[in-house]
Amino acid sequence: MSRKPTELGDSQRDIEASPSETIKQELLNDHWRHCYNWKGVSPVKLAKMRGCSPEDVRSMMFEIQKKYPRPKRNPQTGRCKYCNAEIVWIGKHPCDPPVLKGVTADEKVHAFRQSHFASCPHRNEARRSS
């Protein structure tokens, strides 16, 4: 007696993780890979894709956030595609690597990096395309 492809498909589906487990795993993977970039993902969109309720997705996100506090992340480094200088990405903004010290209006010292757009010899070109 041979099994029909549809039967095989059904039995495979049984051993797959439930949609909520899949989302949880995806959120967790994304959490580590992108350091919280999943926050930018709309829970509604994710829920729709996986057939869950947005409330479930939101509570999963909060659960993960609570369980795995934000890691101190190493800055993403790279090179400016216009002048080939070393740059450090702060979010989506290219900055120069040296950490500078500045004083705020209320006289608190804070560390910051200068935007690479301030020092890039091709800054106009770079700025336009970003």
> What residues line the site for Zn ion (CB under 5 A)?
80, 82-83, 85, 120
Q: Pick from 101, 46, 95: which is nearest to 75 by CA?
A: 95
Q: Pick from 31, 92, 97, 93: which is nearest to 67 by CA?
A: 31
CB of 87 to Zn ion, least distance (A): 7
CB of 37 to Zn ion, least distance (A): 25
Choice between 71 and 121, CB closer to Zn ion: 121
Choice between 48 and 93, CB closer to Zn ion: 93
Choice between 41 and 83, CB closer to Zn ion: 83
Choice between 28 and 85, CB closer to Zn ion: 85
CB of 96 to Zn ion, least distance (A): 9
**Residues facing residue 102 across a β-bridge:** 110
SS (H, E, C) 10-70: HHHHHHCCCHHHHHHHHHHHHHHHHCCHHHHCCHHHHHHHHCCCHHHHHHHHHHHHHHCCC
CB of 93 to Zn ion, least distance (A): 13
In the chain, what is the straight-line distance between the N-terminal and C-terminal CA atoms, in Å?
Answer: 62
